[in-house]
Amino acid sequence: MIKACVIGWPISHSRSPLIHGYWLKKYGIDGSYSRHPVEPTSLAGFIGGLDGAGFAGCNVTIPHKEAVFNLVERADETTERLGAVNTVYLRHGKVLGTNTDGEGFINSLRQHAPSLRLAGSRAMVLGAGGASLAVVNAILEQGAEGVVVANRTREKAQQLRNRFGLRVVPIEWHEIPDRLASCSLLVNTTSLGMTGQPELDIDLSQLSQDTIVTDIVYTPLRTKLLEQAAVRGNIVVEGLGMLLHQAVRGFSLWFGVTPVVTEELHDLIARDIDPDFSP
């Protein structure tokens, strides 16, 4: 039996066991995927003990992504750039780390907004926290000409420019409305709009009808930002797609099968988030 798990502190909110459990059953794999609350002081011991405990690897969530980056023996180039790991796997006794958030974001856009061309385009990203890092890097890796970043704490947007270079353009929050017109993609990576958090309230009057709008927040499934953009006729992409697509590579690394993000899986997780969800 192949074992994998997700670790975080706390971890009870994680939907990863539901996602991987669905695929294990669908592909008839003799495996398990559990969740483990791991305190920061126990993290190094847990990662070092994965092999001994019979795990093929694990997912890593808040607040451990950066700490685990420093615990793995090797990471790929993208992960080195991000300095954060969300997927750990074992190869020949070595503990390796990777980050699948960026590809989760891009593959969700590919699925739900296939007309989007990021190469040579401009994007606007709201937020400069941990998730923003992966999103901004992924957009740049797709060949975008520029990524405008607005964040409450401007210093953190500036840090993204220091990390990724001059294609990242930090702006003040109040500049958002005027900058929107030239963007092919608008992404919210702040926690604003999430259930229990204040709403994200921005003026969309200058948003072009061609701009694709996405929110990586997935509780609620459709945030106010997406509702407002959809009313204006824009194509919108919900955050749940990113969560599902980021899980694909981990499953493949641990269990040896590349799983498909099906509508059935989407609806299963959507119903877990919102019991009133109907396809």
Ligand X SMILES: NC(=O)c1ccc[n+]([C@@H]2O[C@H](COP(=O)([O-])OP(=O)(O)OC[C@H]3O[C@@H](n4cnc5c(N)ncnc54)[C@H](OP(=O)(O)O)[C@@H]3O)[C@@H](O)[C@H]2O)c1
Catalytic residues, by residue number, are 65
Applying CB under 6 A, among 3, 112, 156, 271 the residue interacting with ligand X is 156
Instruction: Tell me the site size for ligand X, rule CB under 6 A.
Output: 26
Which one of the spans 88-96, 162-170, 214-222, 228-236 is the region binding ligand X (CB under 6 A)? 214-222
Burial 240-259 (b: 16+ CB within 10 A, else e): bbbbbbbbbbbbebbbeeeb
Which one of the spans 21-29, 51-59, 142-150, 192-200 is the region binding ligand X (CB under 6 A)? 192-200
Both tokens assigned to 134: 């992966």
Residue 156: exposed, middle, or buried by beta-carbon count in 10 A (0-12, 13-18, 19+)? middle
Both tokens assigned to 189: 């990576």
Binding track over 216-255 against ligand X, x by CB under 6 A = xxx--------------------x--xx--x---------
Q: How far is the CB of 68 from ligand X (least distance, A)?
A: 14
- How large is the angle between the packed helices 240-255 and 101-112, nearest 10 degrees? 120
Residue among 51 and 141 whose Cβ is closer to ligand X: 141
- How large is the angle between the packed helices 263-273 and 16-26, nearest 10 degrees? 150
Binding track over 67-106 against ligand X, x by CB under 6 A = ----------------------------------x--x--
Applying CB under 6 A, among 49, 91, 153, 231 the residue interacting with ligand X is 153
Residue among 225 and 243 whose Cβ is closer to ligand X: 243
- How large is the angle between the packed helices 154-164 and 130-141, nearest 10 degrees? 40
The dihedral sign for the CA sequence 245, 249, 255, 260? positive
Applying CB under 6 A, among 76, 152, 175, 231 the residue interacting with ligand X is 152
Applying CB under 6 A, among 194, 213, 265, 269 the residue interacting with ligand X is 194
Q: Of 107, 138, 133, which is closest to residue 245 (Cα–Cα)?
A: 107
Taking a C-beta distance cutoff of 8 angstroms, is the pair 83, 69 a contact?
A: yes
Residue 213: exposed, middle, or buried by beta-carbon count in 10 A (0-12, 13-18, 19+)? buried
* Per CB under 6 A, 127 contacts ligand X: yes
- How large is the angle between the packed helices 240-255 and 263-273, nearest 10 degrees? 120
Q: How far is the CB of 130 from ligand X (least distance, A)?
A: 4
180 three-state secondary structure:
helix
Which one of the spans 37-45, 69-77, 128-136, 138-146 is the region binding ligand X (CB under 6 A)? 128-136
Both tokens assigned to 202: 């921005």
Q: How far is the CB of 77 from ligand X (least distance, A)?
A: 21
Applying CB under 6 A, among 98, 107, 151, 223 the residue interacting with ligand X is 151
Q: How far is the CB of 72 from ligand X (least distance, A)?
A: 19
Q: How far is the CB of 136 from ligand X (least distance, A)?
A: 11
Taking a C-beta distance cutoff of 8 angstroms, is the pair 85, 223 a contact?
A: no
Q: How far is the CB of 46 from ligand X (least distance, A)?
A: 20
Taking a C-beta distance cutoff of 8 angstroms, is the pair 221, 269 a contact?
A: no
Q: Which residues bind ligand X (CB under 6 A)?
A: 62, 101, 104, 127-132, 151-153, 156, 189-192, 194, 198, 216-218, 239, 242-243, 246
